Amino acid sequence: MAVNIVINQRHLQIQLKQLETVWQTVINNYNLSQAAKVLHTSQSSLSKHISALESQLRAEVFVRQGKRLTGLTQIGEELLPHIERIFVEIRTIENITLDFQNPAKGELSIATTHTQARYVLPWVVKKFKERYPNVHLILNQADPKSIADMVAQGQADVGIATESLLTKDNLHCIRYYDWYHHIIVPMGHELTKFERIDDIHVLKDYPIITYHGGFTGRGAIDKMFHQAGIEPNIVLTALDADVISTYVGLEMGVGTIAEMAFEGEHYRNLTKIPTTVFGKHITWIATRADSDIRHFGKAFIDICQQQFG
Protein backbone atom coordinates (compact mmCIF):
# COMPACT_ATOMS: atom_id res chain seq x y z
CA MET A 1 0.00 0.00 0.00
CA ALA A 2 1.81 3.12 -1.21
CA VAL A 3 0.65 6.28 0.52
CA ASN A 4 2.51 9.56 0.03
CA ILE A 5 -0.26 12.05 0.75
CA VAL A 6 0.52 14.98 3.02
CA ILE A 7 -2.27 16.16 5.30
CA ASN A 8 -1.94 19.93 5.82
CA GLN A 9 -3.66 21.57 8.75
CA ARG A 10 -3.01 24.91 10.42
CA HIS A 11 -0.77 23.38 13.06
CA LEU A 12 0.23 20.02 11.58
CA GLN A 13 1.78 18.61 8.42
CA ILE A 14 1.46 14.85 8.65
CA GLN A 15 2.37 12.33 5.96
CA LEU A 16 0.26 9.20 5.70
CA LYS A 17 3.43 7.14 5.53
CA GLN A 18 4.22 8.39 9.05
CA LEU A 19 0.83 7.15 10.25
CA GLU A 20 1.31 3.89 8.35
CA THR A 21 4.63 3.44 10.15
CA VAL A 22 2.87 3.78 13.51
CA TRP A 23 0.14 1.35 12.45
CA GLN A 24 2.49 -1.31 11.09
CA THR A 25 4.79 -1.00 14.10
CA VAL A 26 1.89 -1.65 16.47
CA ILE A 27 0.45 -4.64 14.59
CA ASN A 28 3.93 -6.13 14.30
CA ASN A 29 4.34 -6.09 18.08
CA TYR A 30 6.58 -2.99 18.12
CA ASN A 31 9.18 -4.81 16.05
CA LEU A 32 10.55 -2.15 13.68
CA SER A 33 12.56 -4.70 11.76
CA GLN A 34 9.43 -6.75 10.98
CA ALA A 35 7.41 -3.62 10.17
CA ALA A 36 10.15 -2.53 7.76
CA LYS A 37 9.92 -5.88 5.94
CA VAL A 38 6.15 -5.49 5.57
CA LEU A 39 6.56 -1.96 4.22
CA HIS A 40 9.53 -2.92 2.00
CA THR A 41 11.79 -0.28 3.50
CA SER A 42 14.56 0.04 6.05
CA GLN A 43 14.32 0.18 9.81
CA SER A 44 16.17 3.50 9.84
CA SER A 45 13.59 4.95 7.44
CA LEU A 46 10.78 3.96 9.79
CA SER A 47 12.61 5.51 12.73
CA LYS A 48 12.82 8.78 10.78
CA HIS A 49 9.08 8.70 10.05
CA ILE A 50 8.30 8.16 13.73
CA SER A 51 10.67 10.94 14.76
CA ALA A 52 9.13 13.35 12.23
CA LEU A 53 5.60 12.55 13.42
CA GLU A 54 6.53 12.99 17.06
CA SER A 55 8.19 16.29 16.18
CA GLN A 56 4.95 17.46 14.53
CA LEU A 57 2.85 16.32 17.48
CA ARG A 58 5.38 17.65 19.99
CA ALA A 59 4.86 14.45 21.94
CA GLU A 60 6.21 10.92 21.95
CA VAL A 61 3.89 8.32 20.44
CA PHE A 62 5.84 5.27 21.61
CA VAL A 63 7.14 4.13 24.97
CA ARG A 64 10.85 3.33 24.67
CA GLN A 65 13.20 1.08 26.59
CA GLY A 66 16.61 2.08 25.34
CA LYS A 67 16.32 1.91 21.55
CA ARG A 68 13.43 -0.55 21.68
CA LEU A 69 9.78 0.40 21.29
CA THR A 70 7.71 -1.35 23.93
CA GLY A 71 4.25 0.22 23.73
CA LEU A 72 2.19 3.34 23.10
CA THR A 73 2.10 6.47 25.20
CA GLN A 74 -1.23 8.00 26.24
CA ILE A 75 -1.43 10.14 23.11
CA GLY A 76 -0.40 7.12 21.03
CA GLU A 77 -3.26 5.09 22.51
CA GLU A 78 -5.71 7.87 21.70
CA LEU A 79 -4.41 8.27 18.14
CA LEU A 80 -4.35 4.57 17.26
CA PRO A 81 -8.09 3.97 16.59
CA HIS A 82 -8.16 7.04 14.32
CA ILE A 83 -5.08 5.85 12.44
CA GLU A 84 -6.68 2.41 12.11
CA ARG A 85 -9.85 3.90 10.61
CA ILE A 86 -7.79 5.82 8.04
CA PHE A 87 -6.18 2.63 6.78
CA VAL A 88 -9.46 0.70 6.85
CA GLU A 89 -10.83 3.29 4.41
CA ILE A 90 -7.70 3.21 2.27
CA ARG A 91 -7.89 -0.58 2.11
CA THR A 92 -11.57 -0.41 1.11
CA ILE A 93 -10.82 2.12 -1.64
CA GLU A 94 -7.98 -0.10 -2.85
CA ASN A 95 -10.26 -3.18 -2.93
CA ILE A 96 -13.00 -1.32 -4.85
CA THR A 97 -10.44 -0.13 -7.38
CA LEU A 98 -8.90 -3.58 -7.83
CA ASP A 99 -12.32 -5.19 -8.25
CA PHE A 100 -13.12 -2.64 -10.96
CA GLN A 101 -9.80 -3.22 -12.76
CA ASN A 102 -9.63 -7.02 -12.54
CA PRO A 103 -12.27 -8.76 -10.40
CA ALA A 104 -10.80 -12.24 -10.86
CA LYS A 105 -7.17 -11.56 -10.00
CA GLY A 106 -5.45 -10.69 -6.75
CA GLU A 107 -4.63 -12.08 -3.32
CA LEU A 108 -6.85 -13.44 -0.56
CA SER A 109 -5.46 -14.03 2.93
CA ILE A 110 -7.25 -16.55 5.17
CA ALA A 111 -6.30 -16.90 8.85
CA THR A 112 -7.41 -20.19 10.35
CA THR A 113 -6.48 -23.04 12.66
CA HIS A 114 -4.69 -26.22 11.64
CA THR A 115 -7.90 -28.20 12.18
CA GLN A 116 -9.89 -26.06 9.74
CA ALA A 117 -7.08 -25.91 7.17
CA ARG A 118 -6.39 -29.64 7.32
CA TYR A 119 -9.85 -31.20 7.64
CA VAL A 120 -12.51 -28.68 6.57
CA LEU A 121 -11.18 -26.23 4.00
CA PRO A 122 -9.66 -28.50 1.29
CA TRP A 123 -13.06 -28.87 -0.43
CA VAL A 124 -13.62 -25.11 -0.25
CA VAL A 125 -10.15 -24.24 -1.53
CA LYS A 126 -10.50 -26.66 -4.45
CA LYS A 127 -13.87 -25.18 -5.47
CA PHE A 128 -12.57 -21.63 -5.05
CA LYS A 129 -9.43 -22.23 -7.15
CA GLU A 130 -11.50 -23.81 -9.91
CA ARG A 131 -13.51 -20.59 -10.04
CA TYR A 132 -10.66 -18.13 -9.41
CA PRO A 133 -7.44 -19.69 -10.74
CA ASN A 134 -5.68 -16.30 -10.81
CA VAL A 135 -6.25 -15.47 -7.16
CA HIS A 136 -3.27 -16.17 -4.91
CA LEU A 137 -4.75 -17.82 -1.82
CA ILE A 138 -2.75 -17.60 1.42
CA LEU A 139 -3.63 -19.88 4.35
CA ASN A 140 -2.17 -18.48 7.58
CA GLN A 141 -2.34 -21.09 10.34
CA ALA A 142 -2.44 -19.69 13.86
CA ASP A 143 -4.08 -20.03 17.26
CA PRO A 144 -7.63 -18.63 17.64
CA LYS A 145 -6.60 -15.45 19.46
CA SER A 146 -4.00 -14.62 16.81
CA ILE A 147 -6.56 -15.29 14.08
CA ALA A 148 -8.97 -12.78 15.63
CA ASP A 149 -6.15 -10.23 15.95
CA MET A 150 -5.02 -10.73 12.35
CA VAL A 151 -8.48 -10.04 10.95
CA ALA A 152 -9.18 -7.18 13.36
CA GLN A 153 -5.86 -5.54 12.44
CA GLY A 154 -6.23 -6.05 8.70
CA GLN A 155 -3.45 -8.64 8.37
CA ALA A 156 -5.91 -11.22 7.02
CA ASP A 157 -9.05 -10.75 4.92
CA VAL A 158 -11.00 -13.64 6.44
CA GLY A 159 -10.70 -15.52 9.72
CA ILE A 160 -12.08 -19.00 10.40
CA ALA A 161 -12.05 -20.41 13.92
CA THR A 162 -14.24 -21.74 16.72
CA GLU A 163 -12.90 -19.62 19.56
CA SER A 164 -11.99 -15.91 19.92
CA LEU A 165 -13.61 -14.33 16.84
CA LEU A 166 -16.72 -13.24 18.75
CA THR A 167 -14.57 -11.38 21.29
CA LYS A 168 -13.66 -8.61 18.81
CA ASP A 169 -16.17 -5.77 18.49
CA ASN A 170 -14.97 -4.77 15.01
CA LEU A 171 -15.49 -8.20 13.43
CA HIS A 172 -18.56 -9.34 11.50
CA CYS A 173 -19.05 -13.05 12.23
CA ILE A 174 -21.06 -15.52 10.15
CA ARG A 175 -21.97 -18.99 11.40
CA TYR A 176 -20.05 -21.60 9.37
CA TYR A 177 -20.95 -25.02 10.84
CA ASP A 178 -21.60 -26.84 14.15
CA TRP A 179 -19.56 -29.74 15.44
CA TYR A 180 -18.89 -31.97 18.47
CA HIS A 181 -15.87 -33.65 20.00
CA HIS A 182 -15.80 -37.41 19.63
CA ILE A 183 -13.95 -40.10 21.55
CA ILE A 184 -11.34 -42.26 19.82
CA VAL A 185 -9.94 -45.51 21.22
CA PRO A 186 -7.95 -48.47 19.85
CA MET A 187 -9.89 -51.35 18.31
CA GLY A 188 -10.93 -53.76 21.03
CA HIS A 189 -10.79 -51.14 23.80
CA GLU A 190 -13.41 -51.73 26.51
CA LEU A 191 -15.14 -48.44 25.63
CA THR A 192 -16.05 -49.84 22.21
CA LYS A 193 -18.98 -51.55 23.91
CA PHE A 194 -20.66 -48.12 23.77
CA GLU A 195 -22.28 -47.09 20.49
CA ARG A 196 -22.16 -43.54 21.85
CA ILE A 197 -21.16 -41.98 25.17
CA ASP A 198 -23.83 -39.85 26.84
CA ASP A 199 -22.36 -39.68 30.35
CA ILE A 200 -19.02 -37.94 30.92
CA HIS A 201 -18.47 -40.02 34.07
CA VAL A 202 -17.73 -42.99 31.82
CA LEU A 203 -14.38 -41.31 31.04
CA LYS A 204 -13.30 -40.40 34.58
CA ASP A 205 -10.96 -43.37 35.15
CA TYR A 206 -9.18 -43.27 31.78
CA PRO A 207 -6.03 -41.35 30.81
CA ILE A 208 -7.02 -38.62 28.35
CA ILE A 209 -5.17 -37.37 25.25
CA THR A 210 -6.58 -34.10 23.94
CA TYR A 211 -5.86 -30.66 22.48
CA HIS A 212 -3.67 -27.93 23.92
CA GLY A 213 -5.44 -25.21 25.88
CA GLY A 214 -7.08 -22.60 23.64
CA PHE A 215 -7.34 -24.93 20.63
CA THR A 216 -10.28 -26.78 19.06
CA GLY A 217 -12.71 -26.46 21.95
CA ARG A 218 -10.32 -27.53 24.69
CA GLY A 219 -11.86 -24.97 27.04
CA ALA A 220 -15.23 -26.73 26.76
CA ILE A 221 -13.62 -30.09 27.57
CA ASP A 222 -12.11 -28.69 30.76
CA LYS A 223 -15.38 -26.94 31.66
CA MET A 224 -17.51 -30.06 31.28
CA PHE A 225 -15.13 -32.20 33.36
CA HIS A 226 -15.12 -29.48 36.04
CA GLN A 227 -18.92 -29.21 36.08
CA ALA A 228 -19.13 -32.98 36.52
CA GLY A 229 -16.73 -32.82 39.47
CA ILE A 230 -14.10 -34.85 37.61
CA GLU A 231 -10.36 -34.18 37.68
CA PRO A 232 -9.33 -35.68 34.31
CA ASN A 233 -6.06 -37.55 34.01
CA ILE A 234 -4.72 -35.70 30.96
CA VAL A 235 -1.52 -37.50 30.00
CA LEU A 236 -0.73 -35.74 26.72
CA THR A 237 -1.89 -32.68 24.76
CA ALA A 238 -1.26 -31.74 21.13
CA LEU A 239 -2.27 -29.13 18.56
CA ASP A 240 -3.18 -31.67 15.92
CA ALA A 241 -5.73 -34.50 15.81
CA ASP A 242 -3.22 -36.57 13.79
CA VAL A 243 -0.83 -36.46 16.75
CA ILE A 244 -3.60 -37.28 19.22
CA SER A 245 -4.65 -40.22 17.03
CA THR A 246 -1.07 -41.50 16.83
CA TYR A 247 -0.68 -41.71 20.60
CA VAL A 248 -4.14 -43.18 21.09
CA GLY A 249 -3.02 -45.86 18.61
CA LEU A 250 -0.06 -46.55 20.90
CA GLU A 251 -2.61 -47.23 23.68
CA MET A 252 -1.43 -44.32 25.80
CA GLY A 253 -4.95 -43.07 26.48
CA VAL A 254 -8.44 -42.23 25.28
CA GLY A 255 -8.51 -39.42 22.72
CA THR A 256 -10.90 -36.50 22.34
CA ILE A 257 -10.84 -34.93 18.88
CA ALA A 258 -13.06 -32.77 16.69
CA GLU A 259 -15.47 -35.03 14.83
CA MET A 260 -14.40 -33.75 11.38
CA ALA A 261 -10.76 -34.61 12.18
CA PHE A 262 -11.20 -38.38 12.41
CA GLU A 263 -9.98 -40.13 9.27
CA GLY A 264 -10.77 -43.81 9.69
CA GLU A 265 -8.95 -44.79 6.50
CA HIS A 266 -5.70 -43.47 7.99
CA TYR A 267 -6.17 -45.04 11.42
CA ARG A 268 -7.68 -48.45 10.80
CA ASN A 269 -6.62 -49.52 14.31
CA LEU A 270 -8.86 -46.86 15.92
CA THR A 271 -12.58 -46.55 16.56
CA LYS A 272 -14.57 -43.31 16.86
CA ILE A 273 -17.32 -43.17 19.48
CA PRO A 274 -19.79 -40.29 19.02
CA THR A 275 -20.54 -38.12 22.05
CA THR A 276 -22.12 -34.80 22.94
CA VAL A 277 -20.84 -34.64 26.52
CA PHE A 278 -18.44 -31.78 25.69
CA GLY A 279 -21.16 -29.65 24.16
CA LYS A 280 -21.82 -28.27 20.69
CA HIS A 281 -19.27 -25.98 19.09
CA ILE A 282 -19.71 -23.37 16.37
CA THR A 283 -17.06 -22.46 13.84
CA TRP A 284 -17.33 -18.86 12.65
CA ILE A 285 -16.18 -16.95 9.58
CA ALA A 286 -15.12 -13.37 10.33
CA THR A 287 -14.31 -10.24 8.36
CA ARG A 288 -13.87 -6.68 9.52
CA ALA A 289 -17.25 -5.07 10.09
CA ASP A 290 -16.14 -1.63 8.94
CA SER A 291 -14.57 -2.44 5.57
CA ASP A 292 -15.27 -4.46 2.43
CA ILE A 293 -13.18 -7.33 1.14
CA ARG A 294 -12.67 -8.16 -2.54
CA HIS A 295 -15.58 -9.74 -4.45
CA PHE A 296 -13.69 -13.04 -4.68
CA GLY A 297 -13.32 -12.96 -0.88
CA LYS A 298 -17.10 -12.83 -0.60
CA ALA A 299 -17.26 -15.71 -3.08
CA PHE A 300 -14.91 -17.72 -0.83
CA ILE A 301 -17.30 -17.21 2.08
CA ASP A 302 -20.27 -18.20 -0.11
CA ILE A 303 -18.52 -21.45 -1.02
CA CYS A 304 -17.86 -22.13 2.68
CA GLN A 305 -21.56 -21.74 3.42
CA GLN A 306 -22.51 -24.06 0.55
CA GLN A 307 -20.27 -26.76 2.04
CA PHE A 308 -22.68 -27.73 4.81
CA GLY A 309 -25.85 -26.92 2.94
**Please, what is the average pLDDT of the chain?**
91
What mean pLDDT do residues 89-104 have? Answer: 89
pLDDT of residue 8: 58
pLDDT of residue 116: 94
The residue ranges of every structural domain in the chain are 6-99, 105-175+283-307, 178-281
Q: Report in angstroms the alpha-carbon separations of 106 from 13, 86, 100, 136, 234.
A: 34, 22, 12, 6, 45
Whole-angstrom Cα distance, residue 134 to residue 280?
Answer: 37
pLDDT of residue 282: 94
State what percent of residues in the chain have pLDDT above 90.
Answer: 75
CATH for 178-281 (2.60.40.10, 3.40.50.1820, 3.40.190.10, 1.20.120.80): 3.40.190.10
Q: Which fold has domain 6-99?
A: Arc Repressor Mutant, subunit A (1.10.10)
pLDDT of residue 7: 54
> Which position has the higher pLDDT, 297 or 290?
297
Strand partners, 211: 238
Q: By three-state DSSP, how is residue 215 classified?
A: coil
Q: By three-state DSSP, how is residue 188 classified?
A: coil
pLDDT of residue 249: 94
Whole-angstrom Cα distance, residue 126 to residue 110?
Answer: 14
* DSSP H or E segment with residue 196: none
Whole-angstrom Cα distance, residue 267 to residue 262?
Answer: 8
CATH class of the domain comprising 105-175+283-307 = alpha beta
Whether the CB-CB separation of 185 and 247 falls below 8 Å is answered with: no
Q: Residue 27: is its pLDDT beyond 80?
A: yes
Q: Residue 4: is its pLDDT beyond 60?
A: no
pLDDT of residue 11: 61
What mean pLDDT do residues 222-237 have? Answer: 96
pLDDT of residue 6: 53
pLDDT band at 106 (very low <50, low <70, confident <90, very high): very high
Residues 117-145: tens digit of each pLDDT: 999 999 999 999 999 999 999 999 999 99
pLDDT band at 215 (very low <50, low <70, confident <90, very high): confident
pLDDT band at 295 (very low <50, low <70, confident <90, very high): very high
Residue 120, Cβ neighbours under 10 Å: how many?
Answer: 23
What mean pLDDT do residues 188-193 have? Answer: 95
pLDDT of residue 296: 97
Whether the CB-CB separation of 192 and 148 falls below 8 Å is answered with: no
Q: Residue 5: is its pLDDT beyond 80?
A: no
Tell me whether the CATH fold assigned to 6-99 matches the one assigned to 178-281. Answer: no
